[in-house]
A and B are shown apart, each in its own frame.
Chain A
């Protein structure tokens, strides 16, 4: 192990590997900042360039780009996530920017992301020898229940009317039912259109509902992002201190993100939403969210970066990619004749460590940039709307097009822009649509697979240990508030009786 670790470092800090690594980091940073251009796309763009390179040069370039792609800055500053997994960060990050606390939000996002990836890499190193049973312990029943756990948290996350929150969530759920169901083979609600065959894509909805809607809001109110005086000085440091103060939340969400990353099929977007909903349920009791609570930034950012480190495990050891980015990474390795699996761990341990070290350093690079440039980036929130809106809107629309090279994605983003504007006007929580759209496919597909595995028996959801734990957790989330309230009421009545008696 030590030889492999030193071997990895010696490869990384040799020339031209270190130069290529820095080039990759810069490219990843740019991709992460632009909506619609994600880390996976950076990998895909760079892959052909690596064909003629040595493996020791290709890996730093590719992992540098992947690890450095970071979409939290745009999520916080413009209500527009650079990547789908940063969507949860917007909910509290953008309100913080509107309150003039963009620096604090950026500092918290950067530092919690950094802690998240370090925690997951640490866990990766520790559980590497025993990783297999952990990965294989989670199957379709567990995925289904995890998704339901995330959906059940809508009650906690909805600000204002719960009925409105549920209504909007059901719209998201309904949207998720469009397209081909790979489990049953049914083609649903496509209205004869090939475009809808693969369902409503998340990114155009995100871009329209948040990025473009915010542009409309800025223009209609003739206001900057920040609606008040910004506190730049000490903002970033304040954000870092907030992460240290909330270290339990950080560690919990990083662990949850690591778990989600380890399990193929869960994905980063699900990880960040699960972390947001369960993290604030457990660590944010009695607090409001969605109005600029720093914990609402720490939770998802910690998880979505932790997921990156963890997703390497099934990818490198089992050859099973858990995310699009790791799928491209495996493809790049294969093209260079390196096959994931036992052989990689046995004969190329230095390459495994090289991947992990590149991921760690690229995260340090990008999060340091976010933290140190936070002060400068926070000032963007003061730029007048007639200057910033055209730039954001153009970037958003270009991002919507690049997802699938389809003009219909741009039209979809436009539709959701108008829809989002109306939702804001009548005070409906837009987050519900995202939760429904993200978690419903996982819940439905896993449910069907589970029933097929058990040949029709529903007991599969309670007879597996992992499933049983998740069922108990869901029931706790749903009923614990009522049980606690009833208990407190009874206790108060009993105390009053005993005092009067």
Chain B
């Protein structure tokens, strides 16, 4: 019995040593060999939407710039206007395997307006970089556009009767864009809210509203015989020569346009980030590979094919812009009408 007991004890000790060694070896491999498995790009909306498409394009072309060329997958976590995805990534293991797609303006606003729901701190994410930001346009019907050929015409029209703007819901980008536009130009605007941007666009075609302000990508797909982009909220005519005149050419004062575009809720930079305590070497690896991705012709062509464009900025540089963005958003949050 004594011999058998001793034999059993020896087996237990050897097995324990083997298990501990395996665990140590695995963790050693994990730390040194990142990435070893698929990396998720966490998207805060359901499949098929605007942000989802961008996430999928990034997931398609990014792996070739990573060591080990591991695959990247999109994980859709919808709910709470995207806040849920950010909350979950914030508290996830900071191992570099979850990259959150950040809607900067929306998340800054959420942090200000719903502090009890938001678990993350925008200034504390470790940013990989910005890959694009919105260029918005003023979209209206052809018959309305024919009457307001300049900014002054628009002002005169609004003096007779406030312009009706359709939105995809209170707090949606169409709504916040409209509020920012009205605030900076002092044009009176009334809002008609719909449960989604598609319904908002259809209402324009049904002649229920006069205009809406939305991102250039979906606006360009609207039927040009019915709807017209009156002007683009951008002062770079070279970038959108075939689309429509810039806001400056339309007659909007330069300081007003700058104030509108500088508002991060309006410009809606889209960035990628990882949780705060992610190891510095992993963050550097992601930043380096991200920049190679952003400067590649293949990525640019893929985004262009999808009707989108890149406007990249390195993570470290994006982080420097954050304090000003937070301050601008907090000021804007005071004028944004609250829901009831």
Give the interface of A toward B (CB within 8 A). Answer: 40-41, 43-44, 47-48, 51, 135-136, 139-140, 180-187, 192, 194-195, 197-198, 264-265, 314, 318-321, 324, 327-331, 334-337, 339-342, 404-406, 441, 445, 448-449, 452-453, 455
B195 at the interface (CB under 8 A from A): yes
Bound Cα distance from A314 to B221, whole angstroms: 13
Residues of A contacting B49 in the complex (Cβ-Cβ under 8 angstroms): 327, 331
- A47 touching B56 in the complex, CB below 8 Å, given contacts A185-B171, A319-B222, A404-B77: yes
Residue in chain A with minimal CB distance to B209: A453
**Interface presence of B258 (CB below 8 A):** no
Q: Which residues of chain A come closer than 8 Å to B64, judged between CB atoms? A: none
- A309 shortest CB reach to chain B, Å: 19
Q: Are B306 and A194 within 8 A (Cβ)? A: no
B119 to chain A: closest residue by CB: A194
New contact pairs (14) apart from A40-B47, A139-B203, A265-B199, CB-CB < 8 Å: A48-B60, A181-B339, A194-B79, A194-B83, A264-B198, A265-B202, A318-B205, A319-B223, A320-B201, A329-B48, A334-B306, A341-B222, A404-B78, A449-B199
Complex CA distance for A136 and B205, rounded to whole angstroms? 7
A-B CB contact pairs (8 Å), 14 listed: A44-B76, A51-B56, A182-B170, A182-B193, A187-B339, A192-B116, A194-B79, A194-B84, A265-B202, A324-B46, A331-B49, A331-B52, A404-B79, A448-B193
Residues in B neighbouring A195, C-beta threshold 8 A = 79, 84
Q: Known: A339-B307, A453-B208. Contact between A405 and B48, CB under 8 A? A: no
Q: Please, which residues of chain A bring their CB within 8 A of the CB of B164?
A: 453
B172 at the interface (CB under 8 A from A): yes
Number of contact residues on B: which range applies?
35 or more
Whole-angstrom CA separation of A186 from B223 in the bound complex: 33
Give Cα A133–Cα B279 distance, bound, in whole angstroms. 58
For the complex of A and B, the 8 pairs showing the least CB-CB separation, nearest first, are: A185-B339, A185-B170, A182-B169, A44-B47, A328-B48, A327-B48, A452-B192, A197-B80
Kindly report which residue of chain A lies nearest to residue B203, judged by CB atoms.
A139
Question: B182 near A: Cβ within 8 Å?
Answer: no
Contact B339 A186 (CB under 8 A): yes
Question: How many angstroms from the CA of A47 to the CA of B194 in the assembled complex?
Answer: 28
User: How far apart sit A445 and B305, CA to CA, in the bound complex (Å)?
Assistant: 35
Interface residues of B in 178-209 (CB under 8 A from A): 190-196, 198-199, 201-203, 205-206, 208-209
Q: Which residues of B contact A51 (CB under 8 A)?
A: 56, 60
Asked if B340 is at the interface of the complex by the 8 Å CB criterion, the answer is yes
Closest to B192 in A: A452
B117 at the interface (CB under 8 A from A): yes
Complex: chain A residue closest to B57, CB-CB: A335
Given contacts A340-B221, A341-B221, contact A184 B339 (CB under 8 A): yes
- Contact between A136 and B202 (Cβ–Cβ < 8 Å)? yes
Chain B residues whose CB sits within 8 angstroms of the CB of A441 once the complex forms: 195
CB distance from B326 to the nearest CB of A (A): 22
B237 at the interface (CB under 8 A from A): no
- Residues in B with CB closer than 8 Å to A455 are 190
For B105-147 the 0/1 string (1 means CB < 8 A from A) is 0000000000011000000000000000000000000000000
Which residue of B has the minimal Cβ distance to A195?
B79
Q: Do B202 and A264 touch (CB < 8 A)?
A: yes
A185 to chain B: which residues have CB within 8 Å? Answer: 169-171, 193, 337-340
* Chain A nearest Cβ from B101, distance in angstroms: 15
Known: A265-B195, A328-B48. A339 touches B202 (CB 8 A): no
Give residues of chain B (61-89) contacting chain A, Cβ–Cβ below 8 Å.
Answer: 73-81, 83-84, 87
**Chain B residues, CB < 8 A from A265:** 195-196, 198-199, 202
List of B residues within 8 angstroms of A180 by Cβ: 81, 339
Query: How far, in angstroms, from A328 to B307 measured CA to CA in the complex?
Result: 15
B225 in the interface, Cβ–Cβ < 8 Å?
Answer: yes
Of the residues B46, B74, B194, B223, contact of A342 by C-beta under 8 Å:
B223
CA distance A192 to B80 in the complex (A): 12
Q: 0/1 per residue, B294-322, Cβ < 8 Å to A?
A: 00000000000111000000000000000
Docked-complex contact B170 and A48, CB < 8 angstroms:
no
| Cα distance A198–B82 in the bound complex, in angstroms | 11
Tell me, in angstroms, the Cα distance from A463 to B168 when the chains sit together.
25
Rounded to whole angstroms, the CA-CA distance of A73 and B169 in the bound complex is 37
Cross-chain contact B195 with A183 (CB below 8 angstroms): yes
Do A320 and B307 contact each other (CB < 8 Å), given the known contacts A48-B60, A139-B206?
no
CB distance from B154 to the nearest CB of A (A): 20
> A444: nearest residue on chain B (CB-CB)?
B195
The residue of chain B having its C-beta at the shortest distance from the C-beta of A141 within the complex is B208
